[in-house]
Chain A
């Protein structure tokens, strides 16, 4: 026998214990009178307290100008200019809406492709620590710059046309999608990927077969959200010449043609609602198939 153990006297006892399911004396359950109370101070209560302090500190922002204004009168007069909407501009609105859609779609696709590798570099579970910080910094920087300022960059680089919008929103979305994807990679259960590595899969295979399928529904959901967001963003960047509805909105705004602005807003609302419904349908299908787990 290969076991070499300096306690031959206890061998028969061991034979008795094999397969014995009885609890060992050290594992016998004890029954205290009541469970110990949970700790009062935890991450949740501390965060809640910090948030309450932040609300108190922010209250001065509610002061306004301090003058006595006819708030409701102003509101009703301003909104009154929007009605009824001037539908005569539907043709150019539809054309500009098409361009807005094109900008949003291309920017979302390019940003998705670029942010996947960037997100992998920014995920603590996938990349070495020295790479995570710079990758996250890059994504934070992209998010810090507002989309309108990115549009100015785009116009400066490629001129005043829809391509400027695509460039601007790609760079802007990179910051958001990169962060979302990084968080998705970090939040999903990495045990399967680790298990596959233990079966001999290399890092790329463990990612593709162990981690990616878990993250895929989250990623699809984020991409849909980004498309919706970009559609709204692409409606405004035309203000600085980056294509889409913005240019039209700017000219109506310039001449106080609020009834025409109303038409444009209704078209945007219709498109965003349509996209939201579509996104919701896709998301539901994805989560429903995942919902029946175990």
Chain B
């Protein structure tokens, strides 16, 4: 299997979906989804509103149990895991659609929360190690949030909150990024900057990215693969290579 559109990184499979079926209540969102996503691929997840894109990412994050089939994540050594395992969640960076930030905690602390999985509860009881704080501040500066670091996240704008959520995921340095509309509140420049960073993560560090995007132009510009869902027929999903 060759890595579509990729220039570097391993072509080993990272994510395997075997006959995956997801449902919300009585409604099937996806059925019979069979796909293999190679490590380091940037996959755009597309489809109209309400089709089940967020549910699909939730299932990959271990927050929604599949109704049928299974999701297998392979670590670098080839061992298979399932998304709900705590050790694996630590290596899965989720950018939630509604950001899920703590409103009365600073932008810096919200970002640092991405490193919680690396430390014991005792270590983080009174704050984070200096190295983490330095790394978090660097990422915030990269995303133009350096001046906001000590403001409560509820005192920042919608776009700044979205970038804080992105910074949290970047600081986590996960194997797999699950980004649910990560640029919906950003302007054209920041959209390019954020998707460029995620693409760099995929290319240079072999970190697989699954990103919900609504803009066809962005899909063509950044993605290697595009996975689309059909609201009328849950079994009519498509995975295609993006040609540039």
Contacts and interface: CB of A to CB of B under 8 A. Distances in A.
Interface in B213-233: 213-220, 226, 228, 230-232
B54 interface: no
Interface string A266-294: 00000000000000000000000110111
A81 interface: no
Given A14-B238, A195-B94, A200-B89, A24 B124 contact: no
Most buried by A among B13, B215, B236, B238: B238
A213 B48 contact: no
Nearest to B154: A293
A76 B61 CA distance: 72
Nearest to B4: A1
Contacts of B208: none
Which secondary structure dominates where chain A touches chain B? helix
Interface stretch (B67-75, B108-116, B141-149, B186-194): B108-116
Interface in B195-214: 213-214
Contact of A217 (B50, B92, B104): B104
B93 interface: yes
Nearest to A202: B121
Contact of A10 (B113, B238, B239): B238
B54 to A, nearest CB: 13
Contacts, number: 161
Contact of B104 (A26, A290, A294): A290
B34 A199 contact: no
Contact of A3 (B48, B98, B117, B238): B238
Given A195-B96, A199-B90, A202-B121, A3 B226 contact: no
Contacts of B131: none
Interface in A195-243: 195-202, 204-206, 208-210, 213-214, 216-217
A20 interface: yes
Given A198-B61, A209-B116, A4 B34 contact: yes
A24 B231 contact: yes
Contacts of A195: 94, 96, 100
Given A5-B238, A196-B116, A208 B124 contact: yes
B40 interface: no
Given A3-B34, A205-B124, A290-B154, A18 B62 contact: no
A70 B21 CA distance: 80
Contacts of B89: 197-200
B101 interface: yes
A71 interface: no
A: interface residue count bin: 35 or more
Interface in B105-148: 105, 109, 113-114, 116-118, 120-121, 124-125
A5 B101 contact: no
Given A209-B105, A289-B152, A14 B121 contact: no
Given A5-B238, A200-B117, A213 B104 contact: yes
Interface of A: 1-5, 7, 10-11, 14-15, 17-27, 191-192, 194-202, 204-206, 208-210, 213-214, 216-217, 289-290, 292-294
18 contacts: A1-B240, A7-B236, A11-B238, A11-B240, A17-B46, A17-B228, A19-B214, A20-B216, A23-B48, A24-B48, A191-B98, A199-B90, A200-B89, A200-B172, A208-B124, A209-B105, A214-B104, A289-B104
Given A1-B4, A201-B117, A294-B154, 11 more contacts: A18-B44, A18-B216, A21-B48, A21-B214, A197-B89, A199-B93, A199-B94, A202-B116, A208-B124, A209-B105, A213-B103
